Chain A
Amino acid sequence: MNTMMKNSAFALVLSLGLVAGCSTTGEEPLTDEEMSAVDQDGGASVYGGTDDGGISADELRERDRRQADSAATGDDAALRRITTFYFDFDTAEIKPEARDVLAAHARYLANNPDVNVRLEGHTDERGTKEYNLALGERRANAVQRFLVVNGADRSQIETVSYGEEKPAAMGSGESAWAQNRRVELIFR
């Protein structure tokens, strides 16, 4: 339960950090070191006082690309620390806020064909055990489809549903139930 809540808090901090990082990149003056690095790389010319911060369009694209690459690697790793995804009652719809994180997992799987992941689908305790087994599978399948559409290979993914049998949070009530309606990604 505590781990789960920390993960949610982490996700929030992480998304704020991403926004902050993006907005500062274009506005901060570049240091000499960075500019010279660009110079050496692309042989670009530097202009002062322009709207684009004194870098030519070509340089900007190159710089963005490299930053995006490093951001993708670094931030994907951070995103991928989130491995539990939550659902509403009796649905298997992936929530909008889960999509970026799942896409990062999909990229990771695509880039690492030897890595396998097990998707464990769960439900809350309400309703019937066997229907919940099917519902947990539907949730795991929804995540699997998302990963495959975003680049993972079908053969890297196995799914299993535990239905209501393995709650993450004990107790009855929406706060526990919300934490139990989930799919967990378990990498191996």
Chain B
Amino acid sequence: MTVTSRFRTTWTSTAAALVGAALLIMMAAAPQQVRAELTIQVTKGVGSAIPVAVVPFAKSGDLPAGDDVSTIIRNDLEMTGEFNPLDPERMLSLPSSSDDVFFRDWRLLGQRYLLVGRVEREGDQVRARYELFDINSERRLLGETANTSVDNIRTLAHHISDKVYEALTGEPGVFSTRLAYVTLDAHEGKPRYRLQISDVDGRRARVRLESDEPILSPTWSPDGRRLAYVSFESGKPQIFTHELATGERSVVASYPGLNSAPDWSPDGRSLLVTLSRSGNAEIYKLDLASRALTRLTDHWAIDTEGEWHPNGKGLAFTSDRSGGPQIYIKDTEDAAPRRVTFGSRYNARPRFSPDGRYIYYVHQRDGAFHIARTELASGDEQVLTRSRLDESPSVAPNGRMLIYATEQDGNSVLRVISTNGDAAYTLPAARGDVGDPAWSPILR
């Protein structure tokens, strides 16, 4: 494959060349609505899933066709693997409020929870009223209203899913969070890399950056308003931050050699980055306001893929100082690194669970690359996936699900699994490959 960069410049790019490159990119980067590029495929259910009946919501007024609130909620709950929504065709009645709920009907159908509701058009707004019941105790768990603009029905549905999920599990739902990822296809004879953001079900994808050179390693700011990523648009890797609302971008790292693996600190003020300006890959803390660098590793080996501990004090990273890549943790920025993976000769790209209890990573076993996790207190390791070329794990902000890139039918796809390993769904790109997923924080 011969690739001619649109923005090939010399190693010491002139400012003018960089400005030119940035202009071209920004034109391509103007947010554009595109056809949803990822199509959900639920590949695996689970026997222990909780039966829940989501009754088709009653509707009044002129509602847009296509996005049905109760269908979206049903799909949301199903894709967690924790719930088994009842097929509406099996329902004996279709109540829309507590007045017409007969618990006996739902007990007959073996259901544990029941969600009913109504959607109404009011001007350019849509209002939903919904109630959640525990069928055994005949108790109402939720009774709320929510509204949004008429073109935002999916947001409304995901919001209700989040409320229902939290009421039933005690954990916040992540249906209103977003995914960032990079697709790759061929366009006019050249590779086309596109950084996109979609809902967690792959819908409402929008292209945020397009380039014929690689884009990789997107990472979210803790407030969900910015991304940092690596782009080769200038002919060499540079780390950018990107304000999602405005499209405004800044080059924050453009040192000789590697500029890679950004990870945003929990306080939002700095990035962990991998630079090789000293001659080989080392991890630095890059202060975003002052651009000051603090070197956090110092070894002749490769040190990369740093991720902050959720407490913002320590970090995990990959190093091949023992001969092959393994995961190390520094409990503070100044602490000596300690190795935490021993199960095979290749363990890389650590990602903490939000509570800091587990570390997830790419794990090689018998020549295949899987996603595994280690419970840090016990050292117990569990391999979570069975596919062969798994990489780029990213944990959902409630710790219940994990997204990673894998291969299916010769293409790279995204797969979401529950962190107990029980459920999975796949998000293939409509064309070409999709990889490098990053699960957003909970957006407020």
Contacts and interface: CB of A to CB of B under 8 A. Distances in A.
Interface of A: 90, 118, 125-131, 133-135, 137-138, 141, 158-163, 165-168, 170-172
B375 interface: no
Contacts of B1: 166-168, 170
Contacts of B280: 134, 137-138, 141
Nearest to A162: B214
A165 B236 contact: no
27 contacts: A90-B324, A126-B364, A126-B369, A127-B325, A127-B346, A127-B364, A127-B391, A128-B348, A128-B349, A128-B362, A129-B216, A129-B392, A130-B216, A130-B304, A131-B304, A131-B305, A131-B325, A131-B349, A133-B260, A134-B280, A134-B281, A158-B11, A161-B237, A162-B214, A165-B216, A167-B1, A172-B389
Nearest to A188: B10
Q: Which 5 residue pairs across A and B have the least CB separation, nearest first? A: A158-B11, A165-B214, A134-B281, A128-B349, A130-B261
Interface of B: 1, 3, 10-11, 214, 216-217, 232, 235-237, 257-258, 260-261, 274, 276, 279-281, 302, 304-305, 318, 320, 324-325, 346, 348-349, 362, 364, 369, 389, 391-392, 407, 410, 435-436
B280 to A, nearest CB: 7
Contacts of A118: 11
Given A129-B217, A165-B216, A172-B407, 9 more contacts: A129-B349, A133-B274, A134-B281, A137-B280, A160-B235, A160-B237, A163-B216, A165-B232, A168-B1
Nearest to A125: B389
Given A160-B236, A162-B232, A134 B369 contact: no
B13 to A, nearest CB: 11
Contacts of A160: 235-237
A159 B237 CA distance: 11
B214 A134 contact: no
A92 to B, nearest CB: 10
A134 B346 contact: no
A127 B362 contact: yes
Contacts of A125: 389
B302 A131 contact: yes
A94 B257 CA distance: 20
Nearest to B412: A125
Contact of A130 (B260, B346, B407, B410): B260
A161 B214 CA distance: 11
Nearest to B276: A137
Nearest to A133: B260
A42 B279 CA distance: 52
Given A162-B232, A166-B3, A171-B410, A131 B257 contact: no
A176 to B, nearest CB: 11
A159 B256 CA distance: 9
Contacts of B325: 90, 127-128, 131
B389 A134 contact: no
A13 B216 CA distance: 40
Given A127-B364, A129-B217, A134 B237 contact: no
A160 B217 CA distance: 17
Nearest to B324: A90
Nearest to B11: A158
A1 to B, nearest CB: 9
Contacts of A165: 214, 216, 232
A141 to B, nearest CB: 8
A166 B214 contact: yes
Contact of B348 (A127, A138, A158, A163): A127
